[in-house]
Chains A and B, each alone.
Chain A
Amino acid sequence: MQAWKAVVLFNLALVVGAGWGYAFWGVRAARLERELAAARATALSGVEREWTVEGVVRAIFPELNVLVITHGEINEFMPAMTMGFRVASPKIQEAVSVGDAVRFTVRGVPPNVAVIAIQKITR
């Protein structure tokens, strides 16, 4: 065989191999990314969900039906922070006072959620 033909062949193999490898990994990475995004989206799509988390009551606004709670991470919804939550019924906030460590349940279609149950915990 003439050498230059063999060389062209081998270079072709090299390029095809590199391209195939890149396509393989690139495609795989892209697919994983898409799957991850899809999983995130379904988690947050318009279905009603419910979480139970722990926190501390920081303030109570009876006239607004709002409780301000410093809470831990709410899975797939929000990180740990201090924020106000609507309460489903005024009774809920009457059960707690500022400084209480609590375990509370929020339910709703994110971002529209409300506290439906709360309970003091002792540490």
Chain B
Amino acid sequence: MLALGLVARWVHLATSIFLVGGSVMIVMAGQSDRPTARRWEQRTLAATRALAVVALASGLVVLSLQTALFEGRVAAALDLAAIARVVVETQAGHVWLVRFGLLVLLAAFLLLRLSVDRRVDWRAARGEGVLLGAAALLPIAAAVEPGTARAIALDALHVVAAGVWVGGLVPLALLLRAAATSEGSDARPYAVLAARRFSRVALGAFAILAVTGALLATVHVGSVAGLVGTRYGRLLLAKLLFLALALLLAMVNRSVLLARLGGDGATVGRPAMRRLSGFVVAEACLALAILGVVAALGVTPPARHDAPVWPFAIRLSTTALEGASAAATRALIGSQIAVLGLAGLVAAATLRSRMLPLGALGLVALGAGAGLALPPLAIDAYPTTYLRPSVPYQAASVASGAALYRESCVACHGARGAGDGPAGLNLPRPPADLRAPHTAQHTAGDLYWWLTNGIPAAGMPGFGARLSEDQRWDLINFLRALSAGDAARGMGTAVEPDRRWLVAPDFAFAVGPTPPRSLKEYRGRVVLLVLYQLPESRPRMSQIAGREGTLAMLGVEVIAVPTDADRDAIRRLGDDPRVLFPVVTDGAEAIVATYRLFAAAPHAEFLIDRQGYVRTIARSRGQAAEMEPLLAQIQELNQERVPVEPPPEEHVH
């Protein structure tokens, strides 16, 4: 079923692409009165007719298989009612309908017998073939995901350029072959001219393909890990390999073989023409292979939505250089040598003279530079290094991670994560200090690997068998909060302008029986998160409640969290003065467990900026204090220019 679907997609794509290319090639070659050229034109036209029919048929197969996929049953492929439903009700169905309509129009046009003896008629008819073919290709782009206007435009350009380059190859080969025979000599100047024009146009199409392809790859793949670590990425690499080979062939064709066709067309050697036609056929085969890969890509989830498996034991990262000045110098020098080498290679490619020595020198410098620069950048990596956490960085997760930590890790890593637990004393290596900012050099995926498999040489056990996947991510979220909390010890009540680093972990809370809300819903407003304790905090809470009007005017949302997680907290606060801001009665435990990592005081106030970063922390025992400093901090945050950079990530990384 899957194989059939793949083949159908491939055939459909290839025929659609060749359809455009055939029409473009005829237009490029131009009208001719030579019998061989006319015969070639008729044969190419006949081929496009056949291709249009095949494209229509394979389009039907694709639709029926798509229906089976949507409905989740094989029989649906032949169920007309189900197929009609897919066409009418799904976006893929709408796109298919438009495409199919255009293909029918194209086929009808191609099947018409038109007289094209006059020049206008010929131009109109052949141009219309190109127009309809390209129009039928365009809707393919409407199906890309994500469906932003930019991605759709890029994809549209990409397929049309592919049509021009790939689709023109076969007709060109046929023309060259026909012209290379002894009877076809009349068409030789025509063929040479066509080959030249095609070569020029194909170069432009290729440039468009490369640029749009690279941009699309950043949309769908996004990272090196996605490229080498997912099936989508590897398929893309295969496509690139074929593309590089095709480009090489095209370059040989253009610079060597095409040049040999120079001079008076009628006298050039047939062998050169035959060879060129053979090379063009080879290029077309590569193009077919590429289209096969593209068909496979169409049924593979994009790398962005897939979990990458890193295939190497190391990765390169500049974070390896932090605090290692000798290595940094070495990397710097090496990279400069490599850049020089690259410049040499570029010079060799553009300059006609001294190509070889320059190129060799550039290659050597590039290799030496890379050899010097790369080793210091290498960091150990594991298959899960680029795995994205499946549990977001939220208070509930941090809290369960903290509980798991107390159960399984305290013995070695110590209550505060300092690596001073009693069981760690007689291990091969002392347990790591988990408060250190290990997220700088290690990804969340690294931690995941260690938690799962342990570090046998050091005596760190693996927990893959004992803890579920989500529990391991909870632990990692806790470790992130732990080391963030260690760094947050230095944060006080002064706003540091434009320094955002302490992400406020999101949390869900409810006030009485109202539906739960989350901190994230308050993005765009300044939030004052108050962790309080009764009766000690009463003076301070009265003060805040008394200034609620001022706070509201400054656009601040206050969220109060009782540290004892009392579900009757609102009643206990009472009505003098009146407290109208949200007081959390559900979800307080997780919030307290998490935010206490940032401030262990009995009463703590966190000022969270409009982007979701904690900016100041006030620790106290809950006694009354001046309100003016707090209002000044809020004013400062309100006046700050909100940067356009995206808000903090949902996940540890």
Contacts and interface: CB of A to CB of B under 8 A. Distances in A.
Interface of A: 1-4, 6-7, 10-11, 13-14, 17, 21, 54-56, 58-60, 68, 70-73, 80, 82, 97-101, 103, 121, 123
Given A14-B132, A17-B101, 8 more contacts: A3-B124, A6-B109, A10-B105, A13-B105, A56-B513, A56-B585, A68-B578, A70-B514
A98 B109 CA distance: 79
A4 B579 contact: no
B513 A2 contact: no
Contacts of A7: 124-125, 127-128
A21 B105 CA distance: 15
A110 to B, nearest CB: 20
Given A10-B109, A10-B132, A59-B580, A3 B115 contact: yes
Contacts of B574: 98-99
B77 to A, nearest CB: 27
A10 B128 contact: yes
- Which one of A4, A11, A73 has the highest number of Cβ atoms from chain B below 10 Å of its Cβ? A4
B513 A98 contact: no
A72 B515 contact: yes
Nearest to B112: A6
B303 to A, nearest CB: 32
B582 interface: yes
Contacts of A70: 511-512, 514, 582
Interface of B: 98, 101-102, 105, 109, 112-116, 118, 120-122, 124-125, 127-128, 131-132, 135, 511-515, 517, 567-575, 578-582, 585
Nearest to A60: B575
Contact of B514 (A10, A11, A56, A121): A56
B512 A101 contact: yes
A56 B132 contact: no
B132 A98 contact: no
A68 B573 CA distance: 15
Nearest to A68: B580
21 contacts: A1-B112, A1-B113, A2-B118, A2-B121, A3-B122, A3-B124, A4-B121, A6-B109, A6-B112, A10-B105, A10-B132, A11-B128, A11-B131, A14-B132, A54-B512, A58-B580, A70-B582, A72-B514, A98-B575, A103-B513, A123-B512
A54 B482 CA distance: 38
Given A10-B128, A58-B580, A101 B513 contact: yes
Contacts of B585: 56
A14 B98 CA distance: 11
A11 B127 CA distance: 11
A3 B580 contact: no
A73 B124 CA distance: 63
B117 to A, nearest CB: 9
Contacts of A99: 568-574
- Which one of A14, A60, A68 has the highest number of Cβ atoms from chain B below 10 Å of its Cβ? A14
A59 B545 CA distance: 12
B570 A4 contact: no
Contacts of B581: 82
B514 A80 contact: yes
A61 to B, nearest CB: 9
A4 B120 contact: yes
Contacts of B124: 3-4, 7
Contacts of B573: 99
A56 B114 contact: no
Contacts of A21: 98
B578 A59 contact: yes
B101 to A, nearest CB: 7
B575 A56 contact: no
A90 to B, nearest CB: 17
Contact of A58 (B567, B568, B579): B579
A86 B112 CA distance: 78
Given A1-B112, A3-B122, A55 B514 contact: yes
A3 B129 CA distance: 11
Contact of B105 (A14, A54, A59): A14
Contact of B513 (A1, A13, A55, A60): A55
- Which one of B120, B573, B575 has the highest number of Cβ atoms from chain A below 10 Å of its Cβ? B575
A35 to B, nearest CB: 19
A121 B125 contact: no
A32 B435 CA distance: 56
Given A7-B124, A56-B512, A98 B570 contact: yes
A100 B517 CA distance: 20
A123 B513 contact: yes
A121 B575 CA distance: 20
Contacts of A17: 101, 105
Contacts of B113: 1
Given A3-B114, A54-B514, A72-B514, A98 B125 contact: no
Contact of A1 (B114, B132, B572): B114
A80 B517 contact: yes
Nearest to A54: B513
B114 A6 contact: yes
Contacts of B121: 2-4
Contacts of A82: 580-582
Contacts of B515: 72-73, 80
Contacts of A71: 514
